[in-house]
Structure 1
Amino acid sequence: MTAVTGNLADPAFWQLAPADRLREFARLRALDGPVYFSERPTSRPATAGGAPGRGRERGHWALVRHADVTEASRLPKVFASAPGVTTPEPARWVRALFGDSMVNLDGADHARLRKIVSRAFTPRLLAEAERDIHKVAARIVDDMLDRRPDEFVAAVSSRLPLEVICNMMGIPEEYRPEIADRVNHASENIGVERGLAARLRMPGRGLRALARMQRMVAGIGRERRRHPTDDLISALVCANVDGQALGARQLGAFFSLLMVAGVETTRNAITHGLTLLTDFPDQRELLLSDFERYADGAVDEIIRHSTPIIQFRRTVTAEHTLGGHTFRPGDKVVLYYASANRDEAVFPDPDAFDITRNPNPHLGFGGGGPHFCLGAHLAKVEMKALFHELLTRPVGLRAVGLPDLAGSNFDNRVRSLRFAFSCPGERRP
């Protein structure tokens, strides 16, 4: 068995430079099977092919190859999402209080909720959302050119997905500043190493933020049941899918999921995209030479290269052999999308940023199966619309310095990114 020095379960690993983490993933992919990592810092080193202290030992098997992540994603009866996909798993009392998010459900429960949500995304609602995306993107860049900010996340990348989702859901304007604030408080420390005082304080702060946001949305849902409009909340609470619609807790859980899956991930992808297009000027020039031709490839390559969601957790429910290892019921498995998207067996020269990469079967929206991201299409539309505005209207738009990364094991979050540009008619700074 081969000793592994980089412990993916150690928060310190996620404080390493991204290049160092990627080198460790590459080394893990080259091993002869999945590796077990203890989630208790005093345990013996992890090994390939064996788990120290199995039984009561708390740890997980790391799936790092594209083929293994894809296979596990498409076998939900074996690799279950319940009781939770995040590390650590949500506590039972949290799930009881806030309801189970669709991403943490399996089988009939997941299928029922997904069916209600899918039916609510009518062709008319989606067409209206796409028109709105282009209007919002143009307005954000108008505002950027007028105000001349120098920090990209707050001024640009966080605004587009939040405004688009709030418009689609039908969130009144007066609630939006508080929702934006609550989203940041609820998600800012997911998977991030913190000191003892912060560990004691921040979970309560995050849960309070989540509770306030869910109460706010539940109130809007009650109003929409009485007086429905043409927004997504009305469609969800008034749906009649096999006689069922979303209740208050289900609506709150779905909205919280949407804020992470639809706002955080898109925000991070857009921010990483600006850095990539700055660091690879040849790819930027190629994109600008024929935006309509290359935009889809650029968006997919940004998502592959940045991988906004780093990992999801699974629980094994039946004995199954995958990647040369036999998993047993109760085993915990983590699907490392950040590694799968750099798999040399699938992506030639995987660390290169190439907007012409074809095929590009990245796992940025999941590895397929029933949990494939419902919002994948809208996220791509948002990114294309915003980058079209950003690359064709300002002059010399570019990232300045390195992004401030959160050091999370859950999402590739950017706290802030400095940027610079000139307005049309000005000389480039």
Structure 2
Amino acid sequence: MNIHVQASAGHIGRVRGVDLADPLFWQLPRPERLAAFALLRRLDTPMRFGEGTGSSRSAGKGFYALVKYADVREASRLPRHFASAPGVTTPEPAAWAKAVFGNSMVNMDGAEHATMRRIVSHAFTPRLLAAAEADVREVAGRVVDKMIAQRPHDFVASVASRMSFDVICNLMGVPERYRTEIAHRVDHASENIGVKRGVRARFRVPGRGLRALAHMQLVMAKLARERRRNPTDDLISALVCADVDGQALSSRQLGAFFSLLLVAGVETTRNAMAHGLALLTEHPEQCALLASEFDKYADGAMEEIVRHSTPIIQFRRTVVGECTLGGRVFVPGEKVVLFYTSANRDETVFANPDAFDITRNPNPHLGYGGGGPHYCLGSHLARQEMKALFHELLTRPRDLRAVGIPDLVDSNFDNRVRALPFTFSTGADPDLPPPRHKTVQPKA
């Protein structure tokens, strides 16, 4: 795929050879995709891709790509013009799926979204948040204990996934007896979220994904009934027993929220952790700086990891009110896609944007969204998880590093790492701290 800008007199024209609606584009190496976005940012107005790219602007299934930082940020904060409904992903969720499984908060607008977010926010009491912070540190210690004892080869499966999944399940109060099955179902539901899939996968995966969602809905409905009868100090109890203007989450709403947490709270955080290890390996001087004074540089390092990797590539919006953005007039019915991966490399905001610099300041990245009503509720928890894990990784094992490059999934939605080989040493180092937690051996 040959990519270049076609210039006209005094004006940047179309970028030839770039089609963000073509699955082949998302199978290009990531550096080539980022270079294409850099060219798109040079255009005067957002470019349209997909069906209906001719004179009929609202026809077909095309969309306008918002690739500049200012445009993505502004669209995020104008829900009266750019709506999340009927869906922020591609394809948009079917109406019958919402009726059966419940609608996700990310697809809601207005009063409906405000009510859901108010109920969820009310459930995060100071007591629950304090317990979560302590649990994050405990989980990080246990995960690294097990890593040192078992010496696994894949960082994603054995460390990043384990960390983020256990934190969310502990927060929600999911009993251990359900976790293995839920993790298995999550893998089945999300393993083909990318764009590279065969004909058989296109026919089979949706059914497998729906079965996984149905199973998780049944588990959450059962837990909701148990917690209503016998509340405990967990998020499920807080959500189903909440009384915010006389409202609490129904079992179906709880299932939809749990499914969202598994993507937003597990998938994105584990991907950020995996990219973090790869970046620190690729830039040993940055790793050494972070390790030298972790408390001083940790916050900046976690923000830079998220900016540089941008775990969520894009969300889409539907135009519901005529407005002007990025030099173009948008009319109701049109679709726009907010490309966070491009906004976080915008040269007008970030100096030397392709560099990985843990001292970057300021770093107003859009890795958790562009602000507005849909700013990520779990951003604080994600930051805590990353800091706790990397603190353990950089202070306990020696010479920990990725081996080779991350195995990335071809996806137009998330910057997913399928696997990341890694290595470390412990040896008989007298300065190496002993295990901080008792490692629980699996039952035979």
State the TM bucket, normalised to the shorter chain.
Answer: over 0.9
* Aligned-residue offset at 1:191: 3.9
* Aligned-residue offset at 1:87: 1.0
User: What is the root-mean-square deviation in Å for CA atoms of aligned residues?
Assistant: 1.2
Contact 2:46/2:328 (<8 A) preserved: yes
The one of 203, 215, 232 equivalent to 2:206 is 203
* Aligned-residue offset at 1:194: 1.5
- The residue identity in structure 2 corresponding to 1:10 is D
Provide the C-alpha distance between the structure 2 equivalents of 1:208 and 1:136, rounded to a whole number of angstroms. 30
Provide the C-alpha distance between the structure 1 equivalents of 2:91 and 2:429, rounded to a whole number of angstroms. 50
Provide the C-alpha distance between the structure 1 equivalents of 2:244 and 2:274, rounded to a whole number of angstroms. 38
Provide the C-alpha distance between the structure 1 equivalents of 2:367 and 2:22, rounded to a whole number of angstroms. 23
Provide the C-alpha distance between the structure 2 equivalents of 1:395 and 1:93, rounded to a whole number of angstroms. 52
* Aligned-residue offset at 1:4: 3.3
- The residue identity in structure 2 corresponding to 1:346 is V
Q: Secondary structure of the residue that 1:255 maps to in structure 2?
A: helix
The one of 14, 18, 23 equivalent to 1:6 is 18
- Cα distance per residue 1:277-323 (max 9 Å; x no partner): 00001100110110000000000000000000000010000110000
| Percent identity for Structure 1 against Structure 2 | 68
Contact 2:15/2:39 (<8 A) preserved: no
The one of 28, 33, 38 equivalent to 1:16 is 28
Provide the C-alpha distance between the structure 1 equivalents of 2:229 and 2:291, rounded to a whole number of angstroms. 49
Q: Secondary structure of the residue that 1:371 maps to in structure 2?
A: coil
- The residue identity in structure 2 corresponding to 1:180 is A
Contact 2:15/2:40 (<8 A) preserved: no
- Aligned position for 2:7: none
Provide the C-alpha distance between the structure 1 equivalents of 2:85 and 2:196, rounded to a whole number of angstroms. 24
Provide the C-alpha distance between the structure 2 equivalents of 1:249 and 1:374, rounded to a whole number of angstroms. 20
- Aligned position for 1:298: 301
- Aligned position for 2:283: 280
* Aligned-residue offset at 1:147: 0.4
Change beyond 3 A, Cα 1:72–1:255: same
Please identify, of 151-160 and 416-425, the stretch whose mean Cα deviation from structure 2 is larger.
416-425
- Cα distance per residue 1:51-104 (max 9 Å; x no partner): 454343211100000000000000011100000000111111111211110010
Provide the C-alpha distance between the structure 2 equivalents of 1:116 and 1:2, rounded to a whole number of angstroms. 46
- Aligned position for 1:322: 325
- The residue identity in structure 1 corresponding to 2:299 is D
The one of 348, 353, 357 equivalent to 1:354 is 357
- The residue identity in structure 1 corresponding to 2:183 is A
- Cα distance per residue 1:190-215 (max 9 Å; x no partner): 24232211101111111111110111
Provide the C-alpha distance between the structure 2 equivalents of 1:191 and 1:321, rounded to a whole number of angstroms. 32
Provide the C-alpha distance between the structure 1 equivalents of 2:427 and 2:398, rounded to a whole number of angstroms. 6
Q: Secondary structure of the residue that 1:158 maps to in structure 2?
A: helix
Alignment pair present for 1:370 and 2:382 = no
Contact 1:394/1:424 (<8 A) preserved: no
* Aligned-residue offset at 1:369: 0.2
- The residue identity in structure 2 corresponding to 1:235 is A
Contact 1:396/1:421 (<8 A) preserved: yes
Q: TM-score, normalised by structure 2?
A: 0.92
Contact 1:87/1:191 (<8 A) preserved: no
- Aligned position for 1:185: 188
Contact 1:320/1:326 (<8 A) preserved: yes
Contact 1:66/1:346 (<8 A) preserved: yes
Q: Secondary structure of the residue that 1:329 maps to in structure 2?
A: coil
Q: Secondary structure of the residue that 2:318 maps to in structure 1?
A: strand
Contact 2:220/2:254 (<8 A) preserved: yes
Provide the C-alpha distance between the structure 1 equivalents of 2:131 and 2:353, rounded to a whole number of angstroms. 37
- Aligned position for 2:89: 86
Q: Secondary structure of the residue that 2:239 maps to in structure 1?
A: helix
Q: How does 1:58-73 map to 2 (within 5 A)?
A: 58-73=61-76
Q: Which runs of 5+ in 2 are unaligned?
A: 1-12, 431-444
Q: Secondary structure of the residue that 2:129 maps to in structure 1?
A: helix
- Aligned position for 2:157: 154
Alignment pair present for 1:398 and 2:401 = yes
Provide the C-alpha distance between the structure 1 equivalents of 2:27 and 2:197, rounded to a whole number of angstroms. 11
- Cα distance per residue 1:34-60 (max 9 Å; x no partner): 00001x4xx7xx6xxxx4543432111
* Aligned-residue offset at 1:3: 4.5
Provide the C-alpha distance between the structure 2 equivalents of 1:54 and 1:66, rounded to a whole number of angstroms. 24
Contact 1:116/1:241 (<8 A) preserved: yes
- Cα distance per residue 1:114-161 (max 9 Å; x no partner): 000000001110110000010110111010110011111111000111
